[in-house]
Amino acid sequence: MWGCGGGGGSFTAYGTREVRFQSAPYDNVPLDVETPDLNGQTDGATNFVRLYDAQDRVTVQAPSTTGGLPFFRWVWPGGYSTSPTITIEAALADQLTVVYGDGCTFEPNYVEAAGQLFYWSRMPVRVYFDESTGSPDAVAAAREGMQRWNDRLGGIIEWIEVQDASSANVVVRWDPDIEPPYVAYTTYTYDTGSGRLLSATIRILPSLDGDAGRALASHELGHALGISGHSPEWSDLMYSTYTGLNMQEVTLRDANTLRTAYCHLFGGSRSASPNSGETREVTVKCR
């Protein structure tokens, strides 16, 4: 929570904050965390979490290269730094991502197999769950599954829940009329010139809760965030078919594919085409 400070409209953060340290395009980047957290922990290899007082100033240093790629910048929601060493208040940056390379080439990925990538022009993406159409267990599973994307993408590509459909970018509903052998659909509308997403609706079979509900909801959100096609790899979240054993996490390849669609948010440059004013609606069906 936020407490008001004295005079001049200043404020002071109270409580604790989990700071999530992440990296792109590779995982397992060793970071020198100079500020011990509340448990006495410091250094780690991405992706990892440390717990701080909200007012703590956290200093962390990234290596100058990793996997043959040069350091590019640190990014966090609402800010960035081009210095490998940063000091930042825990309350202001609870998710930190160190980026290597040129800020727009995120490999390994499956961009070619996935086809066209789309993007939302503003973050965070607003998601509404139509609870009147799904059981409490199905709705809870969908929320938990979709949270995997937030946990993996460092707050740069992010969704939040809203309480009414009219203010949402993405609406999630449970639909008993989905035709076998399919178990979930995502329908999205985009501008044909720029690839900018305009709206999306996710429909899931009402019987899907638990592990299946989490898996399919997180998979469908991947489509709604901009991945139009599927991965050819069984182990990726965005593989075309749920087997009961896969789709358990957002893999590095999943994350890098979506990062490619939003590379401008990581400091890279993307060839931006103007909006055409013409729109197209597409439905992706998943088994």
pLDDT of residue 4: 28
pLDDT of residue 9: 46
Give the 3-state secondary structure of residue 98. strand
| CA end-to-end distance (rounded Å), the chain | 42
| 180 within 8 A of 287, measured Cβ to Cβ | no
Q: What is the CATH number of domain 111-286?
A: 3.40.390.10
- Give the DSSP letter of residue 182: -
**Domain parsing of the chain, residue ranges:** 2-100, 111-286
As a whole number of angstroms, the distance between CA 41 and CA 44 comes to: 9
pLDDT of residue 271: 63
Query: Which residues lie closer than 8 Å to 41 by C-beta, 6 or more apart?
Result: 33, 50
pLDDT of residue 273: 72
| 157 within 8 A of 120, measured Cβ to Cβ | no
Nearest to 184 by CA among 168, 206, 160, 169: 206
Task: Give me the residues paired with residue 58 across strands.
Answer: 88
**pLDDT tens-place values along the chain, 287 residues long:** 333 233 444 445 579 999 999 999 999 999 999 999 999 999 999 999 999 999 999 999 999 999 999 999 999 988 999 999 999 999 988 899 999 999 999 999 999 999 899 999 999 999 999 999 999 999 999 999 999 999 999 789 999 999 999 999 999 999 999 999 999 999 999 999 999 999 999 999 999 999 999 999 999 999 999 999 999 999 999 999 988 878 899 999 999 999 999 999 998 876 667 778 899 999 999 88
